[in-house]
């Protein structure tokens, strides 16, 4: 038994480090200290990454079901704390393009697997380090620390080789590749790696014997005693008849060490004082060995890995994703074959069909007025519009075969919610207060989404108030999705576009969930509206009886 036997077998790992474009893979490397300035694979502008992270989800997350989407993306990755990355959209086109490039690089399955392998090894390394905090015995702790450093060094080297052979085109990963190449030949890493190999090699020369007699234990150096096990096997070989059962038991190597083993190890250290002094000095010097940029990369790259793994299940059922063109000037937006990610995830689980929809705005068009029967997909359409723009603003591929979207400054939503008795306001007043707050903060570059507002007042008053809201937004020239039963609002001006949720012509009670660009026709949905408000003949008859 020696100090290293108390730690698990350590094998080569894969690791990633930030970089920029490098030259030939066969170029000779010189051990020097490089100025390594690479900061992030997530933030193109380094000062953006340095800002305080947003810890709370935006107000519109629940309305758009983005909370469900982010929960699904980040599940199983708690240690990376990824949610803050999804709570903050980008407002710079080049920063968005920077992420899109990396995401496209990682669609290479081989490279993605290398990154995932690196991540797993870094998890193992962190577990080793965490274990050292809970162990009681000095040399036991030092053995696990040595193992953690070895994993780290081997991982960094392996990843560098993986990135060199990968077909990388993104600025982020090219920069990271240069960083890791420079880091490996830096004095700091080269010394760490050389010292690790030296200490491990020295420990592997430690050999000793444990002599147990009655209640006493003696530890002394191994003196080349004869191993009689080979002679015993040879003697009994002639009695062997066919295959025999192997009764040997492989004892699992655990992390624990009892007090007797610890005392034995202390005795061994006294037998080899120079070797164990070298281990002491090594651990004292290299307690904080993980490169900060590497640690940041290890976390940030999971933003891409998690999202790509999340959308893979949609692609497997034939749904399309694309990298949208994004403009900060043109409000001519469109998406073909788009869908609500949260709803689609639920439908896949239920093995139900998923309906995709198209939309487009051109020229002076800015507003979608979405009408049609209840439960026909109108709210889902509104959520899809918001999800697409938000995900695009984070540099992610979005649902759809092809898309062009607008780079907004702020996104606002107003969806139906229960009346809050604590604020002493009625439903209508609460709606007006919320909408006033939205409009006072909105600019020409904002996106607004409202879902069935003013349902607590009369139809006449609802139309009047809705017109006032739409007129305000038209003056702002903002993008706006308005879900309503008030068909009169669908043709207010050339800025409005009527979208209608459709039904099966032969059976108006069945919904197609297709939202089509066409004039509103309230007569087609009179029964559906009456059913919503329990005003059909059957409902009225039932109420009269009661």
User: DSSP string of 114-183?
Assistant: HHHHHHHHHHHHHHHHHHHHH--SHHHHHHHHHHHHHHHHHHHHHHHHHHHHS----HHHHHHHHHHHHH
Please report whether residue 30 resides in a domain.
no
Instruction: Report the alpha-carbon distance of residue 32 to residue 465 in Å, rounded.
Output: 70
Residue 54 DSSP class? P
Please report whether residue 502 resides in a domain.
yes
pLDDT at 523: 53
Q: Which domain does 123 fall in, by range?
A: 1-23+88-224+258-309
Same domain, 403 and 438: yes
Please report whether residue 64 resides in a domain.
no
Same domain, 161 and 192: yes
Same domain, 262 and 375: no
pLDDT at 236: 83
Same domain, 265 and 140: yes
pLDDT in tens, 399-447: 999 999 999 999 999 997 654 545 546 778 888 989 999 999 999 999 9
Same domain, 290 and 332: no
Same domain, 5 and 135: yes
Same domain, 356 and 220: no
**Which of the listed residues 309, 339, 368 is the one where a domain comes to its end?**
309
Same domain, 290 and 378: no
Instruction: Report the alpha-carbon distance of residue 289 to residue 285 in Å, rounded.
Output: 9
Q: Which residues of 354-381 are buried (b: 16+ CB within 10 A; e: fewer)?
A: bbbbbbebeeebbbbbbbbbbebbbbbb
Burial label for 421, CB within 10 Å (0-12, 13-18, 19+), is exposed
What's 521's domain CATH number?
3.40.50.300
Q: Are strands 447-451 and 479-483 parallel, antiparallel or unpaired?
A: parallel
Q: Are strands 357-360 and 334-338 parallel, antiparallel or unpaired?
A: antiparallel
**Which of the listed residues 309, 344, 374 is the one where a domain comes to its end?**
309
pTM equals 0.83
Same domain, 325 and 394: yes
pLDDT at 431: 85
Please report whether residue 61 resides in a domain.
no
Nearest to 396 by CA among 324, 447, 301: 324
Same domain, 389 and 429: yes
pLDDT in tens, 106-133: 999 999 999 999 999 999 999 999 998 8
Instruction: Report the alpha-carbon distance of residue 6 to residue 269 in Å, rounded.
Output: 14
The enclosing H or E element of 413 equals strand 411-414
pLDDT at 36: 60
Please report whether residue 471 resides in a domain.
yes
Same domain, 295 and 323: no
pLDDT at 31: 46
Give me 359's structure tokens.
């939309």
Please report whether residue 540 resides in a domain.
yes
Distance of CA 129 to the CA centre of its chain: 24
204 torsion bin: left (phi>0), alpha (psi -120 to 50), beta (else): alpha
Residues of the chain where predicted confidence (pLDDT) is lower than 50? 1-32, 34, 50, 419, 421, 424
Structurally, the chain folds into a number of domains equal to 2
pLDDT at 30: 44
Same domain, 404 and 364: yes
Backbone torsions φ then ψ of 480, nearest 5 degrees: -150, 135
Residue by residue, DSSP assigns 214-272 as TTEEEEEE------THHHHHHHHGGG--S------------S---HHHHHHHHHHHHHS
Please report whether residue 352 resides in a domain.
yes
Please report whether residue 247 resides in a domain.
no
Give me 476's structure tokens.
């702002």
């Amino acid at each position: 038994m020696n100090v290293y036997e108390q730690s698990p077998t350590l094998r080569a790992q894969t690791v990633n480090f930030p970089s920029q474009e490098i030259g030939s893979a066969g170029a000779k490397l010189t051990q020097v200290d490089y100025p390594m300035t690479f900061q992030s694979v997530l933030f193109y502008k380094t000062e953006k990454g340095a800002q305080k992270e947003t810890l709370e989800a935006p107000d519109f997350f629940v309305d758009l079901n983005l909370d469900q989407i982010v929960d699904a993306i980040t599940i199983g990755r708690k240690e990376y704390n990824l949610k803050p990355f999804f709570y903050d959209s980008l407002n710079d086109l080049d920063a968005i393009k920077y992420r899109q490039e990396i995401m496209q690089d990682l669609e290479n399955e081989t490279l993605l697997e290398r990154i995932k392998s690196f991540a797993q090894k870094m998890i193992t390394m962190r577990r080793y380090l965490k274990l050292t905090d809970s162990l009681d015995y000095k040399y036991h702790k030092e053995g696990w620390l040595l193992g953690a450093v070895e994993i780290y060094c081997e991982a960094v080297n392996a990843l560098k080789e993986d990135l060199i052979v990968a077909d990388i085109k993104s600025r982020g990963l090219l920069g990271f590749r240069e960083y890791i190449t420079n880091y490996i030949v830096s004095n700091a890493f080269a010394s760490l790696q050389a010292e690790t190999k030296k200490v491990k090699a020295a420990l592997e020369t430690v050999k000793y014997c444990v002599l147990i007699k009655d209640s006493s234990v003696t530890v002394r150096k191994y003196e080349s005693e004869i191993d009689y096990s080979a002679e015993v096997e040879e003697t009994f070989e002639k009695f062997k008849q066919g295959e025999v059962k192997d009764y040997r038991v492989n004892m699992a190597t655990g992390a624990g060490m009892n007090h007797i083993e610890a005392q034995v190890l202390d005795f061994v250290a006294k037998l080899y004082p120079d070797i164990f002094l070298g281990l002491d000095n090594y651990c004292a010097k290299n307690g904080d060995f993980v490169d900060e940029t590497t640690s940041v990369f290890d976390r940030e790259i999971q933003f891409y890995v998690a999202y790509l793994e999340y959308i893979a299940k949609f692609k497997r059922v034939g749904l399309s994703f694309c990298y949208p063109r994004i403009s900060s000037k043109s409000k001519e937006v469109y998406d073909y074959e788009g869908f609500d990610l949260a709803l689609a995830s639920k439908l896949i689980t239920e093995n139900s069909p998923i309906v995709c929809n198209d939309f487009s705005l051109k020229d002076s068009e800015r507003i979608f007025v979405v009408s049609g029967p209840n439960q026909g997909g109108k709210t889902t359409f509104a959520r899809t519009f918001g999800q697409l723009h938000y995900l695009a603003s984070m540099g992610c591929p979005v649902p759809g075969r092809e898309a062009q979207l607008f780079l907004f400054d702020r996104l606002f939503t107003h969806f139906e919610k229960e009346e809050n008795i604590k604020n002493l306001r009625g439903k209508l007043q609460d709606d007006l207060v919320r909408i006033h707050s939205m409009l006072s903060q909105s600019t020409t570059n904002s996106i607004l989404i409202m879902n069935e507002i003013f349902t607590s007042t009369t139809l006449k008053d609802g139309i009047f108030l809705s017109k006032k809201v739409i007129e305000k937004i038209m003056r702002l020239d903002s993008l706006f999705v308005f879900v309503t039963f008030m068909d009169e609002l669908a043709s207010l001006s050339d800025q409005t576009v009527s979208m209608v949720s459709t039904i099966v012509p032969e059976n108006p009670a069945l919904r197609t969930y297709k939202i089509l660009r066409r004039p509103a026709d309230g007569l087609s949905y009179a029964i559906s509206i009456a059913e919503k408000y329990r005003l059909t003949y059957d409902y009225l008859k039932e109420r009269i009886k009661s």
